[in-house]
A and B are shown apart, each in its own frame.
Chain A
Amino acid sequence: DSGVTQTPKHLITATGQRVTLRCSPRSGDLSVYWYQQSLDQGLQFLIQYYNGEERAKGNILERFSAQQFPDLHSELNLSSLELGDSALYFCASSVAEQGARDEQFFGPGTRLTVL
């Protein structure tokens, strides 16, 4: 157990819908990262927040947005969902803006299925 929690574990929805994925980082960690992992694919970095501010952005679609709240939990919002958005979405956290030794602690993931 990494100490990072994500809810929900599974999400099934329809095309065109909007969903929110939630992540609580490890106690004391200020950085939160979001990744997308499609079937048999590597981890694609979406976005990073550090202490409430956006720090780095990957190839995140305009339909996707995220934020980090004062209590450091983060939410990833996915809208106008398409079939291709079906994937595992991981949240990770680290103490610093750049994880020591690049170590990030990953949550269990949210499996999103778009029908």
Chain B
Amino acid sequence: GQSLEQPSEVTAVEGAIVQINCTYQTSGFYGLSWYQQHDGGAPTFLSYNALDGLEETGRFSSFLSRSDSYGYLLLQELQMKDSASYFCAVRDQNQGGKLIFGQGTELSVKP
């Protein structure tokens, strides 16, 4: 089966850089996705890594190491609006588009 682990909460100050880690166990791996969810809102897609390395999209970057079954989401120049929950997710190789989500990391950005 699949399982993912990520920290439950992280706190940082405005303007800082924060890294949210995700380790996964899966019988088959396609890629690691990240989603952002503001309190009670719809999750929104942030990034996807299928290959090792860093993918950068503006202030957000995502990294993957397939050999270590590890990835992280890096948020730079933190803003108050970045306070949200961040979920990593992997696909279940045996069931099409089924995504397995981690429990989420709640990021609090302080002034």
- Please provide the chain B residues from 76 to 100 with a CB less than 8 Å away from any CB of chain A in the complex: 87, 89, 91-92, 95-100
Please name all residues of chain B whose beta carbon is closer than 8 Å to the beta carbon of A96 when the two chains form the complex. Answer: 97
Please name all residues of chain A whose beta carbon is closer than 8 Å to the beta carbon of B60 when the two chains form the complex. Answer: none
Please name all residues of chain B whose beta carbon is closer than 8 Å to the beta carbon of A14 when the two chains form the complex. Answer: none
Q: Determine whether A88 belongs to the interface, using a CB cutoff of 8 Å to chain B.
A: yes
Across the interface, A45 reaches (CB within 8 A) one of B41, B42, B43, B98, namely: B98
CA distance A35 to B96 in the complex (A): 15
CB of A47, distance to nearest CB on chain B (Å): 9
**A 66-79 binary contact with B (CB < 8 Å = 1; else 0):** 00000000000000
CA distance A90 to B33 in the complex (A): 18
CB of A40, distance to nearest CB on chain B (Å): 9
- Please provide the chain B residues from 37 to 93 with a CB less than 8 Å away from any CB of chain A in the complex: 40-45, 48, 50, 87, 89, 91-92
Interface SS majority for chain B: loop
- Beta-carbon contact of B97 and A98 below 8 Å: yes
Size bracket, chain A contacts = 20 to 34
- Beta-carbon contact of B42 and A31 below 8 Å: no
Across the interface, B101 reaches (CB within 8 A) one of A4, A43, A103, A109, namely: A43
Q: Determine whether B7 belongs to the interface, using a CB cutoff of 8 Å to chain A.
A: no
CB of A103, distance to nearest CB on chain B (Å): 4
Please name all residues of chain A whose beta carbon is closer than 8 Å to the beta carbon of B31 when the two chains form the complex. Answer: 101-102
CA distance A103 to B33 in the complex (A): 8
Q: Determine whether A104 belongs to the interface, using a CB cutoff of 8 Å to chain B.
A: yes
Q: Determine whether A8 belongs to the interface, using a CB cutoff of 8 Å to chain B.
A: no
- Which residues of B approach A to under 8 Å, CB–CB? 30-31, 33, 40-45, 48, 50, 87, 89, 91-92, 95-104
- Which residues of A approach B to under 8 Å, CB–CB? 2, 4, 31, 33, 41-45, 48, 50, 55-58, 88, 90, 92, 94, 96-99, 101-109, 111
